[in-house]
Amino acid sequence: MDTSELTAKRGIIGFLSLLCFTAFGLMLLYDSSKIAVLGAFMRVGIMLGAFWLAIPLLVRYPRMLKYLPWYVLGGALLIVVFIKQIWMLIPLFIALALLSMFAGPRTRH
């Protein structure tokens, strides 16, 4: 992803994060029985908010985008080390492997 694209989409990511937090708050007030949905809204809002905060760093250091897949792989390995039930991560790694096959810049022949 180009740095200009990241800068242009930063507002959208921030808005979506706030939207998730708003949905979490409203559902918590009106119907707190759906714990799974509440947790999903909260987690997605936190992740989008963290990405929104990280975008200026990614724009300032574009070389970091080149190594981003390695950071994701390192994070995934750390998760494996600290998770007791590893068998639950097998579908996640299969999905990440499939996505990594199609991600990244294409080489010209």
Task: Give percent of the chain above pLDDT 90.
Answer: 11
Entry pTM? 0.57
Residue 56 has pLDDT above 70, yes or no: yes
Q: 21 φ, ψ to 5°?
A: -65, -35
Provide the pLDDT for residue 23.
92
Instruction: Compute the distance between CA of residue 45 and CA of residue 26 in angstroms, rounded to an integer.
Output: 14
Q: What is the pLDDT of residues 21-53, one digit of tens each?
A: 999 999 888 887 888 888 888 889 998 898 888
Instruction: Compute the distance between CA of residue 104 and CA of residue 1 in angstroms, rounded to an integer.
Output: 9
Name the residue with higher pLDDT: 40 or 4: 40
Tally Cβ neighbours within 10 Å of residue 20.
20
Instruction: Compute the distance between CA of residue 33 and CA of residue 39 in angstroms, rounded to an integer.
Output: 11
End-to-end CA distance of the chain: 21
